[in-house]
Structure 1
Amino acid sequence: MAEIINVFNFLKDYNEISNPVITDITKQKWSMGFKDIPKIEEIWSAFAEGVNDEKILDVIKPVLLPCPIPDEMIIDWIEGDWKDLHIDAIKFIEEKTKVEHSQAGDIEQIEQFSDNDKRVNAFTSWIEERNEWLNKEIPKEKGLEIYNKLFKLHSDIKRESESVELVLGDGNVVWKTLGISHPVLLQKVKLIFDPDVPKFTISCEESDTELYTSLFRTISSVDQSILSDVIKDVEENNYYLTDTINTSALFNRLINVVDKTGRLVEEYEKDYTGPMIKSDPMLFLRKRNLGYSLFIEKIIEEIKSNESLHLPDFFNTMIGKYDNTTKEIIEEESWNFNGIDEDILLTLPANNDQMRIIKYLNHYGAVLVQGPPGTGKTHTIANLIGHLLSEGNNILVTSHTEKALTVLKDKVYKDEEIDLQSLCISLLSSKSQKEEMDKAINEMAIKSTSIDLNKEKEAIEKLTVERKNLIEDYKKLRNDLISVRSQEYKDLVFDNQTIKPIEAAKFISEGIDKYDFLEGNTTDCTVNLPLSEDELIRLYSSNDDISEDEERMLSKKLPLLGELWTVEEFEEGSEKLNNLQSATLIEKPILRLTISEKDRLN
């Protein structure tokens, strides 16, 4: 076991080198503190309202109103861009010089702003209106900035959804000497966009709270034994981040675990260099690989604590322990090109290569399949799921991307009677997991109440026999077809000579109406004609020596030997015929048998 533990320790260390622990929140891909969120009607915050709910934040797009328009009598006296929301103090022009034109010439007159009381009162009233506008619109502008940040964040998450996740954090630990400034109590959240309002909603329906244990492991002063108790407490009690009373007590415990000089503070102390923790909720975007090291640590802990734990045999190869016994080489029979096997039940069509993958898995306990997109890997996994379920196994499927799991689920077998997709439960989303769990339970409940086990067992036995017979028939038919097909490419043997099929076909094609052959069957198509050319000519020339009547007579069947007359019967018949001829006085030749003819017939 020590060698295997070393393998996992190597993987853990390699991951930490490739993905170092982020201890400064500003180095995350994106972050936003709740303290920066203004209090306006368009924004609702669970932290501001002090409620414990799945919903954390609502941000409706604020609509900025224009600045109140000043009266016409003062609009020309106002300096600068009075419409600009970022200009706080608005000044007026103290005096203006007017030029009056007359016959005597141009006369300049200086007019003071304060010369007209109505103008002064109008400016004062407008300034009050504008200040009210500033007090309302400046927070709304900040709210619009937050909305725009969330809009960009939504686009980034959508583009990189498989590699990033949005997290809500609180309990910000600051330790200036170590360069640490990061929340430690975390919870994954979702960012939902409603374009009809438009509005962004952040909710924490995904998973339970967790501690940022990777950060604690970078601090040498942390008491790891007490930290384990705190981790267990967080896992069991599921703290709400908006429940500031409970989280404050937790933060106080945590900072004392970090270091004996740790402090729980309301505001950060500028001159203090020790560790501090403060309730300072914030959102941030992080890479998804942060739980990899923790996962490996749990594997190592389980291997150490369970001496009877059985690990797959392929681990021996990883640590250099090779099996010297000869392994069976798995090869499919030549007929099995469609992935049919008597011992393996599949729910989807398969080929010989996919069948070999399943047999390797059954034989060795592990198999590595590599191939470019579109080569049937997902189809093969879906087929594996059906096969493993038929053997009563539980199956866990993992992937780098959630999209790949969704595609795989759609490939799993489903029809009107059997729905294996309903047994697939996602472990990534608590909401979808609940829906899929309910669907799976409902499917199992329906099947369990509608199935007669005895009848099903009988049906299984019957189908097993039928399937076996069908496979045997399939083998025979396929072999017959292959044999017939092979004749098209097999060389012909004629007159002790080998002839290519293409050459024979050309000869027959060119010999139509020229080399026609006699009708009839032959006992051996590989031998030549038993007649020479002269004998064949003589045979055909004999057609002129035989009359049509003789040819018809010769074409008739010969009588059976038992039906032929004996010599005595023939003599008796001949005598009767001669007597009849004499009686009728018709001259006819008299039939007599000579001594030699008698001997020949006998």
Structure 2
Amino acid sequence: MNKIAVNNSKKDIDTLNKVVSLFKFIEEINKLKQKIILNIKDHEWHRFIEDIPDDPENIHVFYRDRIGDVEEENETSVLLSVHKPEFERCPQPNSSFKKWLNDGWGEYWKDVSVKESLFIKSEDSFPLGKDLKNINETKENEHFEENSKRVQQYQSWKKLRDAWAERQNFIAKTRKFFMDLHKMSVALEREAETLELIVADGFIQDKVNAEIKHPIVTRRVSIRHDADTNTIYIEDTNSDSELYTELFQRIEDINLKDDRSCKLRITRKGLSPTG
């Protein structure tokens, strides 16, 4: 009988520990959900639409409230698409000046330059039929600008190379934006219970409380990666738009009784930060 009582007691303790652990987990989840963020910069990640790289070839922003092409806009739920572009090869330098180039000429983030001078091997003149073993080799210090044709060819190539470097810097910004979205996509998939992606509008700043800088109309969206085209899509969902009423609790002279009517108005009129 004592052994049975001891075993039952252990089971009860194990069950109690599991229940306590479960409640602690739920408590932490609720803390995350109930955390009131006053400044948009305090979110895990954010991006203003004007900060999206201007790359029409690889990035497309779809405004749902656009007047033109209404039928086309309504056929898709895509709000943003970002394709990951590949870097381009650097234009190859002419052999006449390639050995004069300093290291890094093929890296777009570095400035291109040439050596001021080089020691060039030259052979002493000798009469025809002279034994080649007796030819003396000397080194002469030659300056890059001594050869006008070489300088001209270098300058022509440098213009092409500078234009290439500018394009690569442009591509790098799009690639970074793509990688930011990809990392966020992975994080959302891994922590779906605590993280979500939203679009927002109706930015509010409070003169009294300088910490308050946040939009009030939000809507949950989804993100997916198309591996075949290496493109990330942010898409609208069937979720209703929401009013971030928790923000009003920190603002003076706000009638909190109107929260419900505001929410109903948003739902009935279909107001959304997507347009």
User: Normalising by the residue count of structure 1, what TM-score does the alignment of the two structures yield?
Assistant: 0.34
| Inter-partner Cα distance in structure 1 for 2:170 and 2:40 | 25
Partner deviation per Cα, 1:471-507 (whole Å, 9 max, x = no partner): xxxxxxxxxxxxxxxxxxxxxxxxxxxxxxxxxxxxx
Partner deviation per Cα, 1:10-52 (whole Å, 9 max, x = no partner): xxxxx67983301122322232333332222121112599576
Partner deviation per Cα, 1:218-258 (whole Å, 9 max, x = no partner): 21243446666544432222234344xxxxxxxxxxxxxxx
**2:155 is equivalent to residue 128 of structure 1:** no
Does the CA contact (< 8 Å) of 1:37 and 1:142 recur in 2?
no
Per-residue deviation, 1:99: 4.8
Change beyond 3 A, Cα 1:181–1:83? farther
Does the CA contact (< 8 Å) of 1:147 and 1:200 recur in 2?
yes
Work out which structure has the larger RCO, using CA pairs closer than 8 Å and 6 or more positions apart in sequence.
2
Per-residue deviation, 1:56: 0.7
Counterpart residue type for residue 42 of structure 2: K
**2:52 is equivalent to residue 37 of structure 1:** yes
Match of residue 178 from structure 2: 147
Change beyond 3 A, Cα 1:46–1:28? same
| Inter-partner Cα distance in structure 2 for 1:235 and 1:183 | 17
**2:113 is equivalent to residue 91 of structure 1:** yes
Match of residue 24 from structure 1: 39
| Inter-partner Cα distance in structure 2 for 1:147 and 1:202 | 12
Match of residue 202 from structure 2: 171
Match of residue 210 from structure 1: 242
Give the aligned length.
228
Change beyond 3 A, Cα 1:226–1:146? same
Name the SS for the 1:185 alignment partner: strand
Does the CA contact (< 8 Å) of 2:65 and 2:274 recur in 1?
no
| Inter-partner Cα distance in structure 2 for 1:155 and 1:64 | 24
**2:256 is equivalent to residue 234 of structure 1:** no
Runs (5+) with no aligned partner, structure 2: 1-29, 68-72, 125-133
Partner deviation per Cα, 1:419-468 (whole Å, 9 max, x = no partner): xxxxxxxxxxxxxxxxxxxxxxxxxxxxxxxxxxxxxxxxxxxxxxxxxx
Trace 1:29-108 onto structure 2 (pairs within 5 A).
29-40=44-55, 41-47=57-63, 54-87=77-110, 89-100=111-122, 102=124, 107-108=138-139
| Inter-partner Cα distance in structure 2 for 1:43 and 1:16 | 36
| Inter-partner Cα distance in structure 1 for 2:187 and 2:199 | 17
**2:188 is equivalent to residue 188 of structure 1:** no
Match of residue 119 from structure 1: 150
Q: Greater Rg, structure 1 or structure 2?
A: 1
| Inter-partner Cα distance in structure 2 for 1:236 and 1:17 | 29
**Structure having the larger proportion of residues in helix:** 1
Per-residue deviation, 1:155: 1.5
Does the CA contact (< 8 Å) of 2:200 and 2:219 recur in 1?
yes
Match of residue 197 from structure 1: 229
| Inter-partner Cα distance in structure 1 for 2:245 and 2:42 | 18
**Structure having the larger proportion of residues in strand:** 2
Does the CA contact (< 8 Å) of 2:64 and 2:274 recur in 1?
no
Identity %: 25
Name the SS for the 2:251 alignment partner: coil
Name the SS for the 1:217 alignment partner: helix
Match of residue 598 from structure 1: none
Partner deviation per Cα, 1:67-117 (whole Å, 9 max, x = no partner): 222112222222241222222x32222222335465797655332222223
